[in-house]
């Protein structure tokens, strides 16, 4: 692949930076501090609805900044966990005793893994790496491989049979899955819950569920309010992606009341910020929700269009996704690293190079959908890059 | 004490609210949602430097709001723990491997208690209740009572001897202590560290240390950079109080590199928000720090004046404090609850009624210092209330 000498210098810095950064994408701020010459114009690494960020900021500007209420959010302690959970519970039609508010979903993943999971735990893979990285001693992670030959679809019966045969005590499914966006229907998830009633935990991460849909109404297909039917269910929900507010750190978990009680007894009383509390109170409001539903559906349509166009690019295999991103495989000896670096250095487009993801065999990138105009720039960049692929200059 | 009929109705609601709220002061937002008729004009329950809040907001307004950078803090993920720790480490002259960034000090208290503390643990009392409430099974808290007869001073030799005699594996000291503000000199803390080198943990909570001083230079008397000399030292630092930013949730812990590694391996990677990251990057800057030192010293002087005047009010015993608050005892059969309710309903002043604090024998309030003009209002309210104390109408 062709690199200008300037791009080549940046490429070397990026490779060094990636080696130093571990298994999680560093924040853009971190990357830009390390390589100030870089310019990120489009962040397609980041899995978030930009229309929802606009919406949140519109409300925030009006109700907080202009109304002079920002100081209160900064100066004073936010409310305790249970207080923030109460209106959310009403909105979700779930008992407040079943809701735990988290400082981002990641805090809930950590808390649940550390406090409630032990023994054999079946996890689909490839997946969000924290699910195995945060496993403390005493948890034995066993993997249920999703294969590219099956388009990364979860084989539901195979999964249930493996959980039973291995005598797993807990299972973990991300739905839609990250990094491929593969979606398992609500009916199938309920079938899993029904078949694995005897387990300690059925953990369903629904962080991308607002982007999934089963028909043209685009209903949100969460299983969270089945908590009474399946008390071993733990639903983990990030608000970062669908609401475009990753910087706020907001998430919630739905689980047995006994589990929520145990967490709150052990801490987690003031784990929300003033801004996160404002967000939760906003989220449950009817006016905001109507607006949110509009931008959610708009973004799903934008994403669907984007993925359709992405599929038409030669040398790319786009795997089926019902999330706001797609996993693409590069063919013809093109490496994910060279495309990642070319996109970043020549186009200012950041995507996720998946060459560190375990469970992926091949050259993969994860590409997020952004706003319509940004998606067009991404599509054009791919077309240009893959056209130029047979070049003599190669980066090592 | 005299209550108007309106105050009496509010008093009944407040009492019910307090019964429902548990051992921690609920946020003002929570209180006002419960009793919308209340109006809090001065929050002297809340232990925070209001001049520092002003300072933070000035920078934030200029550099973030006006510069159009607010969206970045909301939309994108903050940096990982280690990245935020790096400039802080340089500022504190402590190795970055010894620093853990927390979502408020409370997260660090929880993490340290859960991951590193077991067996007998000596804790001074009265104190911040999370230190015993968050103790998991396997920790046996033993109390080192601070007595009002000794002005709540820590008897350093007595504390060391008790730790040794009881074969404590960890000790916990808040310096200055909450709720009394009692300060133990840096020399004495070092003597404790030297004498208890063999323990698993010496936990020093320095959340109020920016308000303490030993001479007219008002140096900050932290022991955090003794971590190399005493590897069992764990220093916990809230930024909520001294920087007036409780809503942001920012704190840090200084501890052995091995402990930091263990925490980061188990989660806590993205536990800061975008705003907290901005704050930490601001805190270490020379320009901000110069301004901060000015408001810190100004506030210490304001507080010193306030406490001196508070001491002159009859029927109040003000215990010695080097924090930004004082513990006061009410004499002559006046209850803390009636004064607390009168201040809130008739003056809009919120203070901390300490009648639920274990280790306090008598009628105690904790009163925070605010800005100079607010402190004057607090002083006048106390004078008026205590003048009217012998009344026929009493609240039950």
pLDDT digits over B31-89, tens only? 888 899 999 999 999 899 999 999 999 999 999 999 999 999 999 999 999 999 999 99
Q: Which 8-state DSSP code applies to residue A49? A: -
CA-closest candidate to residue A74, choices A280, A277, A285: A277
CA distance readout (Å), B293 to A110, A327, B138, B178, B287: 38, 51, 42, 23, 10
- Alpha helices (H) in chain B, listed in sequence order: 5-21, 28-34, 50-60, 70-75, 81-92, 105-116, 130-133, 156-165, 186-195, 257-265, 274-283, 286-311, 336-347, 372-387
Give A301-338 pLDDT, tens digit per residue.
Answer: 999 999 999 999 988 999 999 999 999 999 988 999 99
> Which of B24, B76, B275 is the closest to A246 by Cβ?
B76
At residue B295's C-alpha, the angle toward residues B319 and B310, to 5°, is 25
Residue A269: pLDDT band (50, 70, 90) is: confident
Q: Does A26 touch chain B (CB under 8 A)?
A: yes
For residues B69 and A32, is the Cβ–Cβ distance under 8 A?
A: no
The tokens for B28 are 């003002």
Inter-chain CB pairs, A–B, below 8 Å: 177
Best residue in B76, B104, B107, B245 for a mutation probing chain A (most A CBs within 10 Å): B76
- Which residues of chain A make contact with B249, given a CB cutoff of 8 A? 78, 103, 270-273
Which region, left, alpha or beta, applies to residue B249 given φ > 0 means left and ψ of -120 to 50 means alpha?
left
Write out pLDDT tens, residues A81-139. 999 999 999 999 999 999 999 999 999 999 999 999 999 999 999 998 899 988 888 99
β-strand B201-205 against B170-174: which pairing, if any? parallel
- Nearest residue in chain A measured CA to CA from B281: A29
A248: chain B residues, CB-CB within 8 Å: 74, 273-274
* Window B:240-259, CB contacts with A under 8 Å: 240, 244-249
Q: In whole angstroms, what is the distance from residue A273 CA to residue B249 CA?
A: 6
Question: Residue A9 phi/psi, 5° resolution?
Answer: -65, -45
- Would you call B29 and A249 a contact, using CB atoms and an 8 Å cutoff? no
pLDDT score of A48 more than 70: yes
CB contact (8 A) between residue A78 and residue B271: no
Is B27's CB within 8 Å of A134's CB? no
Question: Mutate which of B75, B110, B246 to test chain A, going by most A C-beta atoms within 10 A?
Answer: B75
Query: Is the Cβ of A51 closer than 8 Å to some Cβ of chain B?
Result: no
- Tens of pLDDT, residue by residue over B186-201, are 999 999 999 999 999 9
Model confidence pLDDT, tens digit, residues B283-294: 999 999 999 999
Rg of chain B in Å (alpha carbons): 21
| pLDDT surpassing 80 at residue A56 | yes
Chain A residues 73-102 with CB within 8 Å of chain B: 73-80, 83
C-beta separation of A237 from A251 below 8 A: yes
Contacts of A319 (CB under 8 A, 6+ apart): A148, A151, A152, A180, A181, A182, A326, A327, A328, A329
Binary contact (B273, A270; C-beta < 8 A):
no
Q: Which chain B residues are within 8 Å of A83, Cβ to Cβ? A: 26-27, 30
Please list every residue in chain B whose beta carbon sits closer than 8 Å to the beta carbon of residue A24. Answer: 80, 269
Length of chain A: 396
ipTM score above 0.85: yes
Given a cut of 50, whether residue A144 has pLDDT beyond it is yes
CB atoms A114 and B267 under 8 Å: yes
Residue B137 is classified by DSSP as T
Token pair of A108 as six digits: 């809930």
* Pair B124, B177: CB distance under 8 Å: yes
Question: Is residue A392 very low, low, confident or very high in pLDDT (cuts 50, 70, 90)?
Answer: very low
Contacts B103 to A, Cβ<8 Å: 103, 107, 249, 271
Residue A389's pLDDT band, with cuts at 50, 70 and 90, is low
Residue of B264, B273, B249 lying closest to B76 (CA atoms): B273
What does pTM read for this prediction?
Answer: 0.93
Distance from CA of B390 to the nearest CA of A (A): 35
Residue A110 sits at the chain B interface (C-beta within 8 Å): yes
Pairing of strands A251-254, A233-238: antiparallel
Which residue on chain A is closest to B44 by alpha carbon? A76
pLDDT over threshold 50, residue A390:
no
């Amino acid at each position: 692949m062709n690199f200008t000498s300037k791009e080549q210098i940046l490429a070397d810095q990026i490779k060094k930076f990636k080696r130093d950064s571990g298994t999680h994408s560093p924040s853009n701020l971190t990357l830009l501090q390390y390589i100030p010459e870089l310019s990120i114009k489009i962040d397609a690494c980041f899995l978030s609805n930009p229309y929802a960020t606009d919406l949140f900021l519109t409300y925030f500007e009006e109700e907080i900044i202009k109304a002079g209420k920002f100081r209160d959010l900064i100066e004073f302690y936010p409310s305790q966990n249970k207080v923030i959970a109460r209106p959310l519970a009403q909105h979700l039609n779930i008992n407040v005793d079943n809701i735990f508010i988290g400082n981002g979903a990641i805090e809930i993943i950590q808390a649940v893994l550390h406090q409630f999971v032990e023994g054999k735990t079946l996890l689909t893979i490839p997946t969000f790496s924290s699910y195995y990285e945060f496993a403390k001693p005493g948890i034995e992670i066993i993997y249920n491989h999703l294969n590219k030959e099956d388009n990364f679809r979860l084989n539901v019966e195979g999964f249930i049979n493996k959980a039973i045969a291995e005598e797993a005590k807990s299972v973990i499914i991300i739905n839609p899955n990250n990094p491929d966006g593969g979606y398992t229907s609500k009916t199938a998830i309920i079938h899993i819950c029904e078949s694995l009633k005897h387990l300690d935990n059925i953990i369903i991460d629904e962080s991308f569920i607002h982007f999934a849909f089963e028909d043209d109404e685009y209903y949100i297909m969460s299983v969270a309010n089945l908590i009474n039917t399946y008390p071993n269910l733990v639903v983990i929900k990030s608000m970062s992606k669908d609401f475009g507010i990753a910087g706020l750190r907001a998430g919630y978990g739905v689980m047995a009341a006994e589990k929520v009680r145990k967490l709150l007894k052990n801490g987690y009383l003031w784990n929300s910020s003033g801004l996160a509390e404002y967000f939760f109170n906003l989220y449950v409001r009817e006016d905001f929700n109507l607006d949110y539903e509009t931008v959610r559906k708009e973004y799903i349509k934008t994403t669907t269009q984007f993925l359709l166009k992405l599929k038409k690019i030669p040398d790319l295999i786009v795997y089926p996704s019902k999330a706001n991103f797609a996993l693409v495989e590069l063919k013809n000896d093109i490496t994910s690293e060279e495309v990642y670096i070319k996109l970043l250095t020549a186009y200012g487009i950041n995507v996720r190079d998946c060459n560190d993801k375990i469970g992926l065999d091949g050259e993969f990138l994860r590409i997020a959908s952004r706003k319509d105009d940004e998606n067009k720039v991404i599509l054009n960049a791919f077309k240009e890059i893959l056209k130029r692929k047979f070049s003599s200059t190669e980066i090592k």
